[in-house]
Chains A and B, each alone.
Chain A
Amino acid sequence: MKLQLHPLHTEVWFHVGPVPITAEVVTTWVIMAILVLVSWLSMRRAQVRGGWLQSTVEVTVEAIADQIKAILCIDPWPYLPLLGTLFIYLVFANLSGVLPGVVAPTAHIETPAALALIVFFSVQFYGLKEQGLKGYVKGYLEPNPLLLPLNLLSQITRSFSMMVRLFGNMMSHEFIIAIVLFLAGLFVPVPFMLLGILIGLIQAFIFTVLATVYVGGAVSATEAR
């Protein structure tokens, strides 16, 4: 018996034209379908005194909005569609690895890379929208125009570190389970899997909080002065 693991390996299921579709993409599609279906079902006949599904969704959205408001100290609702969706998707994606036969999409580098790119471009978009072109460019020349390369570099490295943090945590957790299962046997990895649930939730929280902090930094740079 030989342990065969590769952190960058992805399993291609089928091809759509020239595009290979991997197992993680299918998992992402299923998560997207579930989230859309639940949102549509809960808000299809929204009432003032809604049912349990509507109330659950409302409580979740309100809680996320409260957290974002506590971090940003400004009105959270313009940023809630991005950040709230990011958090709920990450919770589902990180926890999907618990199901037997399903690989968490975030445990492969493509999904965290895509999410980090989304956050990167949204930070630029919100910065441009809120501060205008002049304030946006001025933000890069901030303490001193000499620091422009460092400011540009920090934009890139923080997106990269977001990607590597999510990918590293989720992938290393899967690796640990695989290695322990290989070395020790059937029921030994169960405590590690319990720890994995905690890690998945915390990483979803951290990714969202960091995205919120970056968006807040881009948006309210003028207000802070």
Chain B
Amino acid sequence: MKYAFSFLAVIALILIAWLGSQIPGMQYFFGVAIPYLAVMVFLGGFIYQVVQWAKSPVPFSIQTTCGQAKSLDFVKHNRLESPHTTPEVVARMALEILTFRSLFRNTKSEVHAGPKITYESSKWLWLFALIFHYSFLVIVIRHMRLFLNPVPEVIAWLDWADSMFEIGTPALYMTDAGLLIGLLFLFSRRLTNRQVRYISLANDYFPLLLLIAIGVTGVLMRMFLRDGIDIAAIKQLGVGLVTFSPVITADIGSIFYIHLFLVCVLLVYFPFSKLMHLGGVFLSPTRNMKNDSRQIRHINPWNPEIKVHAYSAYEDEFREFMVDAGIPVEKEPEPTEETPAEAPA
């Protein structure tokens, strides 16, 4: 049901852009106003969210160590999984962010008769997540050619490299395929993996379907629905948007407005959703802290003033037992009643 709801939401968004962009005059709304609004919400929301996180302190050093700590000379230190210095933390974070290190560890557990529990390596999620994210990254970078004039060498080169196999006309971008394949895997996994299916919310299906719709409309625009796709006009709009002088000089096909609108929805949705894992992964205390908490004191800014149950109170309660047992005490017991407290002068 949750995916059906998300599916309908994406369809509705497509219809809004399709119908809306055909109303005379609304091209500026969909081509200029919405993109500006979306970028502002994205940037503002993203910064707001990161500031919100950063405002909360990290009271304790709670790194998760996934390897041997720095210890005695003859004990081999695992510098990546139990980092002790800042460069080692940077390396750990780089592995985490660039190669999805933790996801690479994934195993699949099964309970068999016996009982016997087995664990086998399960790297599909890691592989397709990696394909999706890198494809998405390259696609975003590639799109910069629509906003920059002249197009930087590196983006032109990326464009060439991405389509070097020259499948179809115009050549299919490998990353377009990668993006869609990755997304389809992630989506079908939500439907078929029993555990993931049970935990999935509309919040999980919606961004997947939105991204699929963005990818599909992009591919359609480039490969199939080329009527009215005036690349020069699109580029003029793109460059105009970033130079704050946007103009729409031609009738651009609806598919373009649909694609653009969905991207805007993604931008607006991003800061208020789980997609913020993009920012959060950098701030996760279990990963980005040094495992040196016995060597260097970590400061808790709100460290509460709490006094220990004092030794003196403890001794007061148990003094006689302690003396009887021969345990040293700070204060000798009060004289007992046999010796009068106030001796006559």
**A interacts with B:** no
Q: Which residues of A contact B (CB under 8 A)?
A: none
